[in-house]
Each structure stands twice: as C-alpha cells, then as structure tokens.
Structure 1
Amino acid sequence: MPGIEQARDGLAAALEARYGRGGDTPPLPSQVTFDAMVRVVLEEFLDARQAALAWEALVEAGLDEAGPIAEADPLELASVWQLAGLKPPARMGGVVRKLAMWLVDRHRGDPTALAEVGVDRLREELRQIQGVGPALTERLLLWGLGREGVPLDRSGYRILLRHGWIDPTADTDELRSTMVQLAQGGRWDDPAGDPRAALAAVGRWSGWMERVGREFCKPTAPRCDRCPLREALPETGPVEWDA
C-alpha cells in the first residue's frame, strides 16, 4: 500500500478524471459575508437550488442581515420559507437564528470583523452554537468564511479508516491533518504563493470524498473494485476495524 505522499498525486488525478476539478463543492467566498455563512447552513438541510430559494426569500422579507434575523421569531422564519413554497426541517430556522445571534453578540453583527479572528478561536466559538456540530463548523470555516476548515462527513471518515490512513482513536486534529496531507501535502501555505490554493484543494478533496463514499465506500459491501481510490488500498483489502 503506498503512503499518502506517494499516492496523493495519482489519486487526485483519478478523482479529477471521474468527478471534475470542482466536483459538487461550493465556491470559496471572495470576502466574508453573512450571505455566505447562511447559505452554508441552508445547504446543510436543503439541496443547492432550494437553499438559493430560501436565501432569496429571506432577502425579500428584509431578513438578509444578522441583526434582523437574530431578533426574528423562529415562526417568522418558518413562515417566510413556507410562503416561498419550501418545507425545510423545523430546526433549520433555529440554527440560522443562532448563527445570527452569535455574530451579533460576539462580533457586533459585523461579518468582516471575523477576518481578524484566529481560526482556532472561530472553530471553538462556532462549535458552541446550538445545532452547529463538528462537520458544519468545518463547512462554515471553509465555505462560509474562507478559512482553514476541513469538511469531512461520515463517508470520508470511513474512507480514511478503510485505507488505514487513520485508526478509530484518531481525534479531530488528526482527521484534519490527514485530509490536509491528502489535499496539499500537509501544508496550508502554497508554494506558488496563492493563499487560496490550499483552501480550494481541501474543498475539492472534501467533495471527492463525499462522492466516493456515496458511490463506492458504503457502510456495508464497499465496491472497491471500481473505486478511483482502489490503488491506495492495503494489499489485503480494506481495513475493517473491530467495533
């Protein structure tokens, strides 16, 4: 089994050939906006088209800034989306409102102020928001704030385990480190001098891992024979850790 460093370029080429360079991942934000953060939350509950409609409905209702959303009644948000023909999960509005309240309470409602806050502090603060778990925190960091977030869902975690790149005792720091190793050789800085290149690479790998997980690395009966990551499997096949 080749190590991550030896396999990385070949795997990236195979994944890009199958899924394209961008995959299904959102674009990185060009600047920090409340819009970008809320869209990440909406896409946690809705598909991309519905999430766009949900945001447009908020804009039309005058709820496109943190202050008004933080002060809104949760039923008001639900009503706005219902009038737009949407039926999102009930807790979506709560998470959007809690995110707005965090921005108002901690950062004066100014999303541009977040650019001056360290990523570790942002990660800690986001994790404290009710309804924002580890995976959504990383999505908000990367695709909402354009910072060093490493989105990894259950399927991505399963892929790392089955290839022997991590073991079940790995903590969140190790998971992030392994993904950055795959995407960017373990570096957040880019040798060519593009500060966004590493962020884009991590975003691509995150999207690729989700696709591979859905199509090949299923919880039971993985389809390794056709998987674009098959060349990096251990010689004995996927590692199945004891429960």
Structure 2
Amino acid sequence: MSRQIILDTETTGLSAENGDRIIEIGCVEMLHRKLTGNNLHHYLNPERDSHEDALKVHGISNEFLRDKPKFAAVVDEFLDYVAGAELIIHNAAFDMGFLNKELALLGRPPLTTVVASVTDTLVMAKEMFPGKRNSLDALCDRLGVDNSGRTLHGALLDAELLADVYIYMTRGQDALLIEPSADEEQSSQVESVDLRGIELPVLRASEQESSAHEEVLKQLDKSSSGKTIWRSLANS
C-alpha cells in the first residue's frame, strides 16, 4: 500500500489569491493504515497579520509567529517529506491552493508534481453522507472519533483527527485489502455434520403470551388508523 500523508494547514485568512499566507503546516504519516509517528509540523512567519476572524478560529497570535521560520526555510524539508505520497486532506482545494501559492512565490512547481495523488475527504464524506454536515467536527461526532481536545483549530491536531476519520470512513475496504492468514484459513474450515436425524422441539406460545401479543398488535393497529400491513394481508 502506498505511503499516505494526512495534511492540514492554518492560514491568515481565506484567500491565497488576495495575499493570505500559511501560518502552520501539520502532517502525519500513515503506512498500511497505521500511524507511524513520523510527523512533520511547522509554525510559519506569514510576513503579515492574520485576519480577526481567522484568529478566532486558530488562536495563533501574530506575536507568536514573529520569530518563526518563513515557508522558504522549510520548503525543501516539506517537499522531501511528502514526495511520492498520497495526500489526504479535508477540503483539499483550500489547502492545495495555499500550498501552491507558497510554492509559486518561490518559483517552485505545483505540489501535484511532487506527490502521487490527492484525496479529498470532504468529497468522500459528501458521497457517503449526502445532505448532512460534513465538517471535521461533524464527522468526528458521527464516526465516534474523540475530538474533545479540539477547542481551537490546529494543523497537527486536525491532521491526527482526520487520520482517524479517514480510517473509519474507509474501514469497509479492510475485507478487500487483508488476506486471511494460514491459521485463519485453517480455523475457518468447518466439519460437515448430518442434521437430518435431529428433530428440533417446537415451543408454542402460551395463552397468556398469545393474548399479550394480540394486545400489542391492537395498539399498533390503533395508532396507525388500521393501516398495519398484517391487517391488509389478512383481509386480502
């Protein structure tokens, strides 16, 4: 299975084209659907202040970022880290737009020329849960992923949460991807038994049980205004 990198960014605002920049990159590595602990995480000096609305989301102050490295200082490490991997990103168009803008400012080619592919978990979620909220928080709640520590957005934390969400969303693939071991194949072989000579006892309902069952049916029939399917079948 190919190497997968779950990636998230935090930014000064919503528009890379209008000059907003990346302030944080968080990446976690996954091999064979297991987190390896080989993470990449950087806070970055965006050379501009964050918008007020963005500050409310990520809580990373302008002062905190003043002495952090610029993207140019970490770009080679970042590109080496993601090279040849499948990127897994929630709302990939947003993060890829910002990363490609940062690369373009340095005269570098787009990120798609470096990685193997990009998977957008937001697109996956919309296909799996049409008409529902598919934010990262909503998916965590729906899939049982503990996000109680996420009071603010953070790139590394969000990447770790997204890794769990992605595993849950794709767990149906396990049966297709995992070959049974020799021990499992041996244990799954069941000896055939001739059951033709065995008579199973028939346990009939008592008069009290039958009466109670009929009373439940009457209540259901009443609540549905006589439209229960067993009544219609009985009268046909």
TM-score computed with the length of structure 2 as normaliser: 0.24
Q: Say which one has the larger Rg.
A: 2
Structure (1/2) with the larger strand percentage: 2
Specify which structure has the bigger relative contact order, considering alpha-carbon pairs within 8 angstroms and separated by 6 or more residues.
1
Structure (1/2) with the larger helix percentage: 1
TM-score computed with the length of structure 1 as normaliser: 0.24
